[in-house]
A and B are shown apart, each in its own frame.
Chain A
Amino acid sequence: MAEALLPGLPDEIVIWEILVRLPPKSLLRCRAVCRAWRRTTSTRAFLLAHHGRQPSLPVVCGFDGYNQSILAFDHRAAADAWLRPVARLDGERFFCLQASCDGLLVFSATTAAWRPCLAVCNPATRQSALLRHPRDASLFGVLGMYLHRPSGEYRLLLHRTSGRPAILGHDPLPERRTGCYVSALGSDQPPRYIGGPAAAASALGFYTPALVRDCLHWSPVGSCKVVTVFDTAAESFRQMRAPIAPTKLSIFQLDGKLGIYSNDNATKAVDVWVLPNYEGEVWEHKYRVELPAAEIRGQFGGRGGRLNVSVVSAGDAVLLLLICGQWLFYVDVDGVLVDSFSCDGQKLYACGLALKQTLVPHAFFTALEDYTVNASPFI
């Protein structure tokens, strides 16, 4: 008869009620305890349940002039530990974080031969690989990443920015239409054209969408005052009403619902709306947060510099992250400066993306080029 995982408790409880609660780092250490622990924490079912329990943490990127850092913001962690590094990536070939979904991060990168491409990595498993398509990533912008439930594939929504031919003949696509394309991670097929709002698509690329109810939502862009919605199962676009406001708006996800905030750097207050009833499309003004500007400027010596405001959600709480240079300020909805963080030598960016760590070893990694584990780009 097999040894019990924890003498005194049935395996079912040890696996599904105890081990599954551990954060990824602790869980990986537990695999080194004994073989049975390693075996039971490596099954797909376990890893999916474990991933399901992970919090979705707002991501902050740092750039020190050469290398990229990915930091995760956990407001429930102890003071001084709420912004913690997740991974550092070699900046020589990995550039900008483009999309995130379920613990996977997609970056713009280059191959060893300096061809622009996209790369996918999982900071918890330290797996990384270059995507085969699009062959010339400089032609495309990444609008978002999603799990396409009908097929179970992770897919990228791309928009083709120009009809020009690829550099050095890297684009075998006869298709050169501008507009939206869909590409599955790990696929051998070139991106598939799906049309979409071509005119708005390139503008959408500047904004991070919010994934709610299996649809990607972008805040209103330009003169258009609607929320653009992409249904990830049907892979089609539609529109939704947005709150009426004179300022630029940014969309975010809050506990499975949509939120929008005003993003005008000139004002000293941030307005936040939420959408409690998705079908009704009626936005409710929830908060008006007066930013503690004086306190903030006092903290970093009154040096100038634009303060970038981003509203993020952590669980069901709304927080504001204010970034200027290497400084990050964490403000709550009452306008109180809760804490501040300075990352020496790095310039910080709140990219509006979230990371829900996963130890699930996705199959597509091994099928891709330049597949590495525990190696570059992770440093």
Chain B
Amino acid sequence: MDSTADPKGKRPLYQEDGLAYARAAAAAASATAAAAPDEEEAKPKPKPSSSSEEAKPEPEAEDQAEMPPLVLVAEDGVEVSISRRAARMSHMLRLLMEDSCADGPIPAPNVHSDILDLVVQYCEKHGPYYDPEASERARNPFPPFPVELTPTVSSIKPVTYVDPDPHGLKDWDKDFISLDNSTLFEVILAANYLNIEDLLDLGTTTVADMMRGKKPEEIREIFEIENDYTPEQEAELRKENAWAFED
């Protein structure tokens, strides 16, 4: 197996099991919801039958904005709604929406409603500016050649080109992610389950930054990890990579 198999060092985000479970659960939930008299409008499905009564086909973005928000159900039974535009940030929810399995309540087991609120907050903030294409490219760093470059996708930019952050997302993210460790971990787990790449990156980078530049004893203290080295073993290890332990 050659070393270029995963050149960006990233593991696949898409998790088969989670998606299948969510689909099945959503389908079951839809079935029960449909049985009861419901408040859902009779909105045309993405695959329209040839009905002259239906509205003219609208662009997908508008379609989504008008469609009712999704309903996520946390482990404590609390329902949290998320607009469709924000839900695009979750790869899992996006697939459910594409497969039209997202009309009923979607279970999010193991995610407490407080955490779900935070996750939805993140998605609602980033949703309007989210471009699914951008992250696709990150997941597929070696598209087939020849690559046809149009000016919009040219990646050559001068170093003084500052990534536009006109919406103040970076600062917002910094405030958002200042959480205590256990909440941060829960957010990471939720982002992982829902396949929200950007939130997962934000959370895990924050944890990595907590480790960067620290001494091992400091890392142990922050994360409450037990040191199972004997003093001799630890000294040996430090000697082995002495340069890394210098300041």
Residue of A13, A22, A277 with most partner-chain B CB within 10 A: A13
A319 within 8 Å of B (CB atoms): yes
B208: which of A22, A213, A286 is its contact (CB, 8 Å)?
A: A22
Knowing A31-B241, A51-B9 touch, does A318 contact B215 (C-beta < 8 A)?
Answer: no
Please provide the chain B residues from 8 to 45 with a CB less than 8 Å away from any CB of chain A in the complex: 8-11
B170 within 8 Å of A (CB atoms): no
Interface size on B, residues (CB 8 A): 59
Knowing A28-B244, A48-B6, A52-B8 touch, does A35 contact B160 (C-beta < 8 A)?
Answer: no
A175 within 8 Å of B (CB atoms): no
A104 to B56, CA, bound (A): 61
**Which residues in B have their C-beta under 8 angstroms from that of A287?**
158
A24 within 8 Å of B (CB atoms): yes
Knowing A17-B200, A29-B216, A334-B158 touch, does A8 contact B182 (C-beta < 8 A)?
Answer: yes
A280 to B240, CA, bound (A): 50
Closest to A278 in B: B146
Residue of A16, A52, A53 with most partner-chain B CB within 10 A: A52
Knowing A26-B213, A52-B7 touch, does A38 contact B208 (C-beta < 8 A)?
Answer: no
B130 within 8 Å of A (CB atoms): no
A374 within 8 Å of B (CB atoms): yes
**Which residues in A have their C-beta under 8 angstroms from that of B8?**
52-53
Contact B146 A34 (CB under 8 A): no
A351 within 8 Å of B (CB atoms): no
Knowing A17-B200, A152-B2, A318-B156 touch, does A9 contact B189 (C-beta < 8 A)?
Answer: yes
Query: Hey, what's the 0/1 contact readout for A34-77 against B, CB within 8 Å counting as 1?
Result: 11011000000000111111000000000000000000000100
A274 within 8 Å of B (CB atoms): yes
**Which residues in B have their C-beta under 8 angstroms from that of A318?**
156, 158-159
Knowing A8-B182, A9-B185, A17-B11 touch, does A276 contact B154 (C-beta < 8 A)?
Answer: yes
Knowing A13-B204, A374-B240 touch, does A316 contact B146 (C-beta < 8 A)?
Answer: no
CB A86 to nearest CB in B, in angstroms, measures 10
Residue of B186, B215, B237, B244 with most partner-chain A CB within 10 A: B244
A319 to B158, CA, bound (A): 8
B156: which of A8, A274, A378 is its contact (CB, 8 Å)?
A: A274
Q: Which of these binds chain A: B58-66, B73-81, B98-106, B217-225?
A: B217-225
Contact A38 B237 (CB under 8 A): yes
Contact A9 B156 (CB under 8 A): no
B160: which of A3, A38, A333 is its contact (CB, 8 Å)?
A: A333
Contact A34 B220 (CB under 8 A): yes
A3 to B244, CA, bound (A): 26
Contact A32 B9 (CB under 8 A): no
B242 within 8 Å of A (CB atoms): yes
Please provide the chain B residues from 142 to 190 with a CB less than 8 Å away from any CB of chain A in the complex: 145-149, 154-161, 181-182, 185-186, 188-189
CB B184 to nearest CB in A, in angstroms, measures 9
Knowing A34-B225, A48-B3, A152-B2 touch, does A332 contact B158 (C-beta < 8 A)?
Answer: yes
A173 within 8 Å of B (CB atoms): no
A255 within 8 Å of B (CB atoms): yes
Contact B6 A317 (CB under 8 A): no
**Which residues in A have their C-beta under 8 angstroms from that of B186?**
8
Contact B237 A22 (CB under 8 A): no
Closest to A16 in B: B11
Query: Hey, what's the 0/1 contact readout for A268-288 against B, CB within 8 Å counting as 1?
Result: 000000101111100000110
Closest to A102 in B: B3
Knowing A33-B225, A316-B155, A318-B159 touch, does A279 contact B146 (C-beta < 8 A)?
Answer: yes
**Which residues in B have their C-beta under 8 angstroms from that of A374?**
239-243
B232 within 8 Å of A (CB atoms): no
A75 to B161, CA, bound (A): 13
Query: Hey, what's the 0/1 contact readout for B195-221 against A, CB within 8 Å counting as 1?
Result: 000001000110110011111100110
**Which residues in A have their C-beta under 8 angstroms from that of B129?**
none
Contact B237 A49 (CB under 8 A): no
CB A109 to nearest CB in B, in angstroms, measures 20
CB B168 to nearest CB in A, in angstroms, measures 20
Please provide the chain A residues from 296 to 336 with a CB less than 8 Å away from any CB of chain B in the complex: 314, 316-319, 332-334, 336
Contact A278 B185 (CB under 8 A): no
Contact A21 B204 (CB under 8 A): yes
**Which residues in A have their C-beta under 8 angstroms from that of B156?**
254-255, 257, 274, 276, 286, 316, 318
A52 to B220, CA, bound (A): 27
**Which residues in B have their C-beta under 8 angstroms from that of A32?**
216, 229, 234, 237-238, 245
**Which residues in B have their C-beta under 8 angstroms from that of A50?**
9
Contact B185 A149 (CB under 8 A): no
Closest to A214 in B: B4
A164 within 8 Å of B (CB atoms): no
A343 within 8 Å of B (CB atoms): no
CB B19 to nearest CB in A, in angstroms, measures 17
A20 within 8 Å of B (CB atoms): yes
A31 to B238, CA, bound (A): 9
Residue of A24, A34, A152 with most partner-chain B CB within 10 A: A34
Between-chain CB contacts (< 8 Å), 27 pairs: A6-B207, A7-B223, A17-B204, A18-B211, A21-B204, A24-B244, A26-B211, A26-B213, A28-B245, A29-B245, A30-B219, A32-B234, A32-B245, A33-B219, A33-B220, A33-B225, A34-B226, A34-B227, A34-B229, A48-B3, A51-B9, A255-B156, A257-B156, A276-B149, A278-B146, A319-B159, A378-B243
- Extra contacts besides A13-B188, A374-B243 (6): CB < 8 Å: A26-B213, A29-B244, A33-B227, A50-B9, A317-B159, A333-B160
Top 3 closest pairs, chain A to chain B, by CB: A52-B9, A28-B244, A49-B9
